[in-house]
Every structure is written in structure tokens, then in C-alpha cells.
Amino acid sequence: MLENYFLRPATVDRVRASWLAPQIEGYVEWMNAHGYRDGTVLRQVPVLCQFGDFAAQNGARAVASAVVHVGAFCLRRVTQFSPTKSPEIQQSRLKFFRGPIQQVLRLALEGHAKKVRRPKPFPFQAEASGFLSYLQEERGLRPRTISIYAHHLGWFDKYLKQVGVRAIGEIFPALVSSFLVDRAPVLGEETRRDFCAQLRVFLRFCYRERIIHENLSATIEMPQIYRLARLPRSITWDEVRRVLERVDRRTACGRRDYALLLMLVTYGFRAHEIAMLTLDDIDWKRERLYIPERKGGHSAAFPLTGVVAEALIAYLKNGRPNTSDRHLFFRTLAPRVPLTSGAISTGAGVYLERAGIKVHKPGAHTFRYTCVQRLIDAEFPLKTVGDYMGHRSPQTTEMYTKLEIAALREVAMGDGEAL
């Protein structure tokens, strides 16, 4: 594999003379399989050889014993290259040297090059061990929702330890109130409401299981949020065209993003619904697009429109990496892994910013709201709109009636206005 990158045999011989050569070659094969550019390989292999020499000079003869020398080597290289540079530049150089070394060592010791984030233990598992199964089995919550519970309860656990409370049974009403007062200012309105609701669920469970002797959930007052208080954050159809014009479809990334944006605004899909799409969900013969699992827990099928089909074909032919993974959309930079819902929503917000469109919380949902607005303007019944968007409740669709600005203005200017 080294011969594919280094044309001079002497260079390949120098790499293979290193005691770290087997690990370096394995790493090069991993980078090649994950779509890293040739220039990246050419830059990183010399750094790995230099690290091997440095570790050997300090007594390392095995991969496991070389781990302790990573920090010293990186610091030495940064000092040699940029001793008088700013702290930001030095941190960037540290990352440049440390990244490939950690990857090759992790690949040799653990069998994978990318750092795997180990899930944190669910808060209060020692005292309220049944709460996690309660959320999963009795309440039937999705993993994403359970992770939000874990995040918020983690803050509660941290606060209790800060004030010296070591057991759930020691919690009292004033302590809960002081925690909410301390935490609420950094949360948005909807997050604050959800946070209070989740804390009430937890305290109610603790009371049911006799972990605490008082139902403290009753002491938490839910923040009042009016469901129809805000306008949906949609944009006009002309603004949609401006966003699409900002996409450079000459590149693989542009072809992918153009197909993504078209699917968002045409079907009103959520970001996670697009992230889960696979090649098997596109029925080219019947011209259908399947969403196997929507937020409401049901599946749906949509007609594959001509403009979306053309964008998908352009991406599949000249944009999607050659991989055995069946996911539809992938990163264009290495490592070539499927796009996440967060990346899709962030990318949509970037194109809105490039088009100079100001909107509250720009992202994938902006195009979802725009899709609904288009259906409302076409005078589709609310029931039809709700079914198309996958709303579980008709009340969710009612919010979009506020988009009928012209009709509302006629009501306001009709009989009775003079009064």
C-alpha cells in the first residue's frame, strides 16, 4: 500500500525500517479505505516515522509502551516549528501532530482508529435503578428522548453533589426550587418547560418507589407556554430559490446538499428522517420514496418527484462514495461516514446564512415549515396537511393556520373593525 503513495523506493524503505512500520502500513490501509486524500497520507506518514524514532530513543519497543511518549513528542515538535506563535496556532499544531499518532496507536491497540465516545452511565442508577427501564418499557420513550432525560438529570445530580446532598432521600422542596432557579436562566423557554416536566417525572417515580417519602413533583410549577404564541419560522418560495442558487452543484458536496435541500422543502422531512434513508428506501420502478419510521412511530410513502429524482441521480452518479454501506447521504470528507441529523440541520442553516436570509433558529425545520406553508397556500385541508407531514395531533397542524396572513388580514378588516 505504501508504494501507491510514495514513488521513490528509498522512501518506502525508510518507512519500513521503523519499528512502527506494521502499524503505519495498517493505518495507511485504513485511511485509504475511508477516503482520505493522498496529500493527507503523505503528510501524516513522516510524522508517524518521527514519532517512532522518538519513542524508540526513549526506550519504547512496543505499541503499548509508546503511548506515554505522545505528549512529549508533540510538544517538542510544536516548539521546534512555532516557538513564538500565538497559543491558538500552537494548539492547531499540537492537534496536527497528535491526531494521526493517536489514531495509529488506537488502531493497533483497540482495532479502530476513531475515538469512540463511551456512553455515560445514566444518572441516579445506584439509587433509582429502575427509572431507565421505566422510561423504556412503561413510557415507551425513544433513545433520543431518554438521552435528553439523562442530560438534564445529570445536571441535577451534579447540583446535588455541589450542595453536599449524597442521597435522593435527602432532597427537600426548597432544594428543588433553588436548583430550578439556578438552572432556568441558561435554558430557552421550551427547554425549560421540558426540563421541569422531566424532573417531575423523575421525582414522581422516586415517590412511587418509596425512594423519597414526599411527592416533590407537586412542588415544581410548570412554565406557561402558549402553543400558538409564535409564528412558524418559514421562508417564502422566492427565498427558497435564493438558497438553492447558493449551492455549487459542480462539486460532490454541492450535488449532495442540493438533493438534501430539495427533499427538505418538497416533502417537509425532518433531519433525522433523511439521515436514516438508505438506497433500499428509493423505489425507482414505482417512483416512490419510503420513510420507514417517522416521529409518530409510523411509516410513509411519497411520490418521487422528477426534480428530486434528477438531483438524487446526479448525486448517486457523481457524489456518493463507493461504499458497501446502504445509507443514502455521506460526508464528502474523510472519514466517509453517513451524515447525522445534526449535520443535515447545520448544513441547511449554513445555506440560509449564505443566502442572507434571517430566520429564528435556522435549520432543517425552516424548510419543513416552508413546505407546510406551501400546502396551506394551495388550500389543502388541515387533515391532509397533517397526514402529509406526519403530525400525530391535529392541534399541531393548527399552528400553521397563522401563515394565512392575507386571509387573517381580511378578517381583521371586515365588519366590526370600525367598532
How many angstroms separate the CA atoms of 342 and 365, rounded?
12
H/E segment holding residue 141? none
How many Cα neighbours within 13 Å face the side chain of 212?
18
Residues with catalytic function: 270, 295, 365, 368, 391, 400
Phi then psi for 66, rounded to 5 degrees? -80, -15
How many angstroms separate the CA atoms of 113 and 133, rounded?
33
Q: Which grid coordinates are listed for 240?
A: 427558497
How many angstroms separate the CA atoms of 270 and 284, rounded?
22
CA-atom Rg of the chain in angstroms: 28
What is each CA distance from 10 to 6, 17, 406, in whole angstroms? 9, 10, 76
What is each CA distance from 44 to 38, 51, 53, 243, 312, in whole angstroms? 10, 11, 15, 38, 35
How many angstroms separate the CA atoms of 21 and 15, rounded?
6
How many angstroms separate the CA atoms of 19 and 258, rounded?
47
What type of residue sits at position 168? I
Tell me the three state secondary structure of residue 206: helix
CA 360 to chain centre: 19
Cis peptide before 335 (omega within 30 of 0): yes
Closest CA to 215 of 207, 225, 224, 226: 207
